[in-house]
Amino acid sequence: KPGGPSSWACPLAPVGVGSGLVFPSVSSAPFFSPPAAAGAAASRAVWWRKAAVVGEASAREGGGWKMAAAIATAGALLWGWLWNERFWLPANVTWADLERGEAGDGELYPRASHLLAVLPLAAGLHALRKVFERFVAKPCAIHLGVQNNKTRRVQPNAILEKVFTSITMYPDTRRLEGLSKQLDWDVRKIQRWFRHRRNQDKPSNLKKFCESMWRFTFYISIFFYGLRLLWSSPWLWDTRQCWYNYPFQPIISSLYYYYIMQLAFYWSLMFSQFTDIKRKDFLVMFVHHVAAVGLISFSFLNNMVRVGTLVLCLHDASDFWLEVSTSASVWYAAVVIQMIFHHQFHLYLNNILKYISICHLHKREDI
């Protein structure tokens, strides 16, 4: 490819292909620094033309060149829609303008290449979680009297295990009667086997407590770290500062680390779902983590970091309280504490909302 990786942007210049296919014009996407001149744009156009011709020739050899051309067109349109500058950026601002932005000492503009640090950080957080749960959370749980209520292992049975894993965990009456005849077991015995088998996959209270303690530790630590950073930031006290001179708003390195650490944490949660015991809310939480990763990533790429830091800090302010509630729910000696927590949490939330409303009223009066 002309220009090497440093000039790799992802535009689709208007290119005519032998089959009559014309790629639409799409602005540069912010994945790498774009080439800085009209000559570089011409190089990109030549590269895309060669790629289109090679792709069409390869598809013709396979016998499905029309389908390949349609897929290429759909991909080009989707790519162009995803990185449309009119959607992400103010008028007369392009991704290239952000790439050329000059930051001062100790400041930087968000780049897509900065997100490459997320995956190693996520793996490091996952490893740190394992160490924390084993050497910190577990001794605390045992000291507080949290029981490791391990369920009894069911009697091994290949037929019932196949039905449980491949067909259903809740067999109906007809299936139970069929299994009863096949195994020469009583129906009640088969129902009991399935109930014990379902309980066997449930995590123990000790494991739940350790996981909640890890999330509580992260949320409360990152909350106070973010609050300390935002306390001296003007956009914490006046949200209009989030949009002054947008998107040309360089960020300091400490805010960058705060943002990237949040993103890495949600990546680690998404990874850990596939290694932890599978739970009923697996799909719901997976969608939640994917949405969180997408929102944080896209807000970083189009430099909405100021608004993003406010949203992250606001969520962290409630998340660690929820983890306290989860820990208390498995610590049977803390039923009264849990009731008090729910009451205090609702008061806390109402006070925060009232404070925000009052602040906005005063701002409108000042205007």
DSSP 271-289: HHTTTSPP-TTHHHHHHHH
The whole-angstrom distance between residue 221's C-alpha and the CA centroid of its chain comes to 19
For a pLDDT cut of 90, what percent of the chain falls above it? 19
DSSP 47: H
How many Cα atoms within 13 Å fall on the side-chain side of residue 128?
14
| Chain mean pLDDT for the chain | 74
DSSP 165: I
Phi and psi for 165 in degrees, rounded to 5? -85, -30
pLDDT digits (tens, 9 = 90+) for 132-188: 999 998 898 888 877 776 667 777 888 888 888 888 888 888 888 888 888 888 888
pLDDT at 331 (0 to 100):
64
Q: How confident is the model at residue 279 (pLDDT cuts 50, 70, 90)?
A: confident
* pLDDT exceeds cutoff 60 at 33: no
Burial of 214 (0-12, 13-18, 19+ CB in 10 A): buried
Q: Which of 144, 320, 307 is nearest to 215 (CA)?
A: 320
The whole-angstrom distance between residue 164's C-alpha and the CA centroid of its chain comes to 31
* pLDDT exceeds cutoff 60 at 51: no
pLDDT at 11 (0 to 100):
38
Coil vs helix vs strand at 22: strand
pLDDT at 206 (0 to 100):
83
Is pTM, for the whole model, over 0.85?
Answer: no
DSSP 26: B
What does the pLDDT average to over 185-206? 82
Position with higher pLDDT, 278 vs 2: 278
List beta partners, residue 16. 22
* pLDDT exceeds cutoff 70 at 106: no
For 252-271, letters b (16+ CB in 10 Å) and e give: eeebbebbbbbbbbbbbbbb
Q: How confident is the model at residue 252 (pLDDT cuts 50, 70, 90)?
A: confident
Q: How confident is the model at residue 125 (pLDDT cuts 50, 70, 90)?
A: very high
Q: Are 117 and 143 in contact (CB under 8 A)?
A: no
Strands (E) in 221-346, as ranges, are: 251-252
Q: How confident is the model at residue 107 (pLDDT cuts 50, 70, 90)?
A: confident
Distances (CA, A) of 249 to 190, 213, 305: 65, 36, 9
Q: For residues 166 and 158, what is the distance between their CA atoms, to the nearest angstrom?
A: 12
What does the pLDDT average to over 55-75? 67
pLDDT digits (tens, 9 = 90+) for 70-104: 888 888 888 777 778 777 888 888 877 777 666 66
Q: How confident is the model at residue 193 (pLDDT cuts 50, 70, 90)?
A: confident
List beta partners, residue 12. 26
pLDDT at 83 (0 to 100):
78
pLDDT at 20 (0 to 100):
39
Phi and psi for 124 in degrees, rounded to 5? -65, -40
Coil vs helix vs strand at 10: coil
Q: Token digits for 300?
A: 């970083």
pLDDT at 365 (0 to 100):
46
pLDDT at 31 (0 to 100):
37
Q: Are 148 and 205 in contact (CB under 8 A)?
A: yes
What does the pLDDT average to over 22-38? 38
